[in-house]
Chains A and B, each alone.
Chain A
């Protein structure tokens, strides 16, 4: 509802959430010019909105004042050698036996491709072990390979296109984020390389294929993963 200075106080407050959104946007200098003057005129006379605005401003100030956290480890790439595969973030969660991994397009196809992906996956795991990993104790040899890498090699171009991942810029196609649960996002996150839940663990073999590992990097990179967000307008 487009408001102007002639609207009554009741009009401004008819929709509390909309008014809060206007105040919040105004705070960020993101209110359209034509609405700005009207809101400022209203603010001059409305103590309730001034207090709401103050509250929003104070929360923003607190967030801005949060100190920068210190990362527990460095993130620089090693300049030589194979890139170590970090332990998938979800490895911290103990998995009950027989847990069924929820379907994700990439891992499914990787699983179907079986041998090739597994072999290449093993090679990468092997090289990671050789490099001693970058995650110390976390990087258990039995940690499952992150599925964001293996499928890039094994899946092949045909399955990527057949997958028809929603391009990242078609924001309309994302499910609304009104998730019933308090924290998880309900929309499918597409278009970006994912730090995904691991596929069922590959059993690691001793030794690695440095050559194969290098091949993965080469081939994986050249497949120019459709899942990278950059392939859409950005």
Chain B
């Protein structure tokens, strides 16, 4: 049953894509509606700035619409998310070339990734304990969410992208490999490093017993 439902959804999507390729904007808007949440979430988690993320997402959809004629693959989602992630990586490159200017702009806007001090000062709650969860709604507390978002922004871009696609978006490894245009082995490695890196960042108080073992397990977290 599930496969049937998936198959018919795939067929429907194929139809939407075909019509969009013919210039049918309403059909394309059905695709926008379907994927804009994932696209924007990816951009936001990568960039940490809502307006910039919205710009990247908007441009990604425009670009996708214009270039749909060249889309041949099996997964529209992977293709779209690749455009979004490329947009984010472009921004990182641009800012890396002009770090002072970027920092000023970010400070003015009141947005941007936190400095290392935020996560090092030990004032964060032990995020990996039950206290992080709101007992009423089984949802994460606001401050926990903020901490996770901040920690994500401390990761190297490729690790961040891999773990967002995997754990926030729920993409399987194969699809992540397509989005990132890297072999699956690289995807596995980046996800593992990212998770370990996040855990180290979030485990501010070392309350987990696992953290005591960390020294015996720890390895290089770069890349």
Contacts and interface: CB of A to CB of B under 8 A. Distances in A.
A219 to B, nearest CB: 11
Contacts of B71: 228-230, 234
Contacts of A148: 59, 63
A217 interface: yes
A224 interface: yes
Chain A interface main SS type: loop
Contact of A75 (B61, B94, B219): B61
B92 A185 contact: yes
B156 interface: yes
A89 B62 CA distance: 13
Interface residues of B, number: 110
Contacts of B133: 65
A220 B87 CA distance: 19
A92 B94 CA distance: 12
B10 interface: no
Contacts of B61: 75, 77
B75 A234 contact: yes
A206 to B, nearest CB: 24
A184 B92 contact: yes
A64 B171 CA distance: 12
Interface string B52-71: 10111111111111111111
6 contacts: A71-B37, A71-B54, A148-B59, A169-B181, A193-B64, A225-B67
Interface of B: 25-26, 28-29, 32-33, 36-37, 39-41, 44-45, 49-52, 54-75, 78-79, 82-83, 86-87, 89-98, 101-102, 104-105, 109, 113, 127-128, 132-133, 139-140, 144-145, 148-149, 154, 156-158, 160, 163-164, 166-168, 170, 173, 178, 181-183, 188-189, 191-193, 195-196, 198-199, 202-203, 208-211, 213, 216-220, 222-223
